[in-house]
A and B are shown apart, each in its own frame.
Chain A
């Protein structure tokens, strides 16, 4: 039978593993999106395949290229 502190450590590291896996899945599964917000709280989401979305993603790509890499680190 494992010592009590071992049980606790196993449980904590189990939760940490679960959290790490969740973050990895989130990063892996997240797809590109464009969200627009209007005054009054209305919003809409456009995918890269939609008519308006394609232009937004093209402009976004251009801006990312202009900004370049992060200046620090």
Chain B
């Protein structure tokens, strides 16, 4: 199973990069997605993120306006809590943040803004932050390009 995921990741990451040269959106930008993202695609993306990240307890994906596109539980609760978190983060220095990482004794929170979307993840303690953020960005990038959860 891990080998399957790894093989798929390799194909996705390097396959996407190979197509990057012709694509209009460079990786790691916060520009809006080229087309509106459907809830179904967001669900697939969240499922894929859950499959990739063994430490993930739950997560959600939001559009730029803060609407919940997909969540691993009650969308309303995820939406309210995420809004609170991002408002606090943006208010810290009066400028929208690109990434948030909060580590507590009960677990860790990651929030990433990319491609005009927001991904939020709750993980176990001591998750590798850089890998988690990388996976979240990759998922948002793919989602914005309309190939969420796509094989290869």
Count of chain A residues near B, Cβ 8 A: 29
Tell me whether B128 is interfacial, beta carbon within 8 Å: no
Known pairs A37-B99, A67-B57; A62 contacts B93 (CB<8 A): no
Tell me whether A55 and B88 are in contact (CB under 8 A): yes
Q: Is the interface on chain B under 10, 10 to 19, 20 to 34, or 35 or more residues?
A: 35 or more
- Nearest-neighbour CB distance to chain B for A29, whole angstroms, equals 12
Tell me whether B62 is interfacial, beta carbon within 8 Å: no
Q: List 22 A-B contacts (CB under 8 A).
A: A30-B103, A34-B102, A35-B101, A36-B92, A36-B97, A36-B99, A37-B97, A37-B98, A37-B101, A38-B93, A44-B93, A52-B88, A56-B102, A59-B84, A59-B85, A60-B104, A62-B81, A63-B122, A64-B107, A64-B109, A70-B56, A71-B50
Q: Kindly list 8 other residue pairs between chains A and B, CB separation below 8 angstroms, not including A36-B89, A62-B81.
A: A35-B102, A37-B101, A44-B93, A59-B84, A67-B57, A67-B58, A70-B57, A70-B124
